[in-house]
Structure 1
Amino acid sequence: MTETRIEELMCLEEQGWAALCRGEGRAFYEVMLADDAVVVVPGALLDKAQTLASWDGVPPWEWYDLVKRHVAHLGEAVVVVYDVTACRRLQTPYRATASSTYVPHPDGWRLMLHQQTPWA
């Protein structure tokens, strides 16, 4: 995979977190999530519809930071792994290691699996 492709996928991760900060996560991920996507977050295993609904009524993140990025290739699929720190207004920062698996799609990349493991 070319460096340009890797940067493209990291850019998608950045765009997703930025959309969540603007309160636009549902609109962004309605397009980015594959129809049969799975999202694994603390205490939940969600399909696409459940993931989109999970943002209803939730305050947006105020800021985020992605670090320690790594990319792994699984055939045509690509896994992006990173540490994230994000914070909502007046809350303790959330810290986790996250991974996103992207698959090629005729209209670009689609997110097939996203997983977050909170730090202890």
Structure 2
Amino acid sequence: MTSMSLDALVALEHQGWDALCASRGGTFYGDLMTADAVMVLPNGVVMDRDAIAAGLDGAPAWTAYTLTDTRLVEAGDDAAALVYRASAERDDLEEPFVALMSSVYRLVDGVPRLALYQQTTITH
């Protein structure tokens, strides 16, 4: 399960955050997510891949982020979850956004694809 290793999935998460820092998250996640994938956000909104792809490009850019406490949870031969803590800063926020993240990946044609992403804020 090398393509679903801790290092490989952490690298994908960094690519996603880097895309969000460049205001091109819609393009990145539109390509990464499975057709039926969803993101569950702390405000209770659930967004599907089409909504993410349409809504994240051009969104306010994160200026800095850190990912810590990464943990891989295997979920069978072709799936795994990455759990981590993220802290991110953006110019329009007075304090950093700090949350626990869960990203569930599934192998599709041998390539990890994001099937479910959830943020649980710990800043409120």
Q: Please, which runs of 5 or more residues in structure 1 have no aligned partner?
A: none
RMSD over aligned Cα atoms:
1.8
- Mapped partners of 1:33, 1:4: distance in 2: 15
- Over residues 52-75 of structure 1, what are the superposed CA-to-partner deviations in whole Å (9 max), with x where a residue is unaligned? 233255211011100001110111
- In the TM superposition, what is the alpha-carbon distance from 1:18 to its structure 2 partner? 0.7
- In the TM superposition, what is the alpha-carbon distance from 1:5 to its structure 2 partner? 2.4
Aligned to 1:17: 17
Number of corresponding residues:
120
Aligned residues with identical type, % of pairs: 38
Q: Which TM-score applies when normalising by structure 1? A: 0.91
- Mapped partners of 1:3, 1:31: distance in 2: 17
Runs of 4+ displaced beyond 4 Å? 1-4
Higher strand share: 1
Aligned to 1:7: 7
Q: Which TM-score applies when normalising by structure 2? A: 0.88
- Are the counterparts in 1 of residues 23 and 57 from structure 2 also a CA contact under 8 Å? no
Q: Please, which runs of 5 or more residues in structure 2 have no aligned partner?
A: none
Secondary structure of the 2:16 match is helix
Q: 1:114 aligns with which of 94, 114, 117?
A: 117
- Mapped partners of 1:7, 1:32: distance in 2: 17
Aligned to 2:89: 87
- Mapped partners of 1:89, 1:13: distance in 2: 21
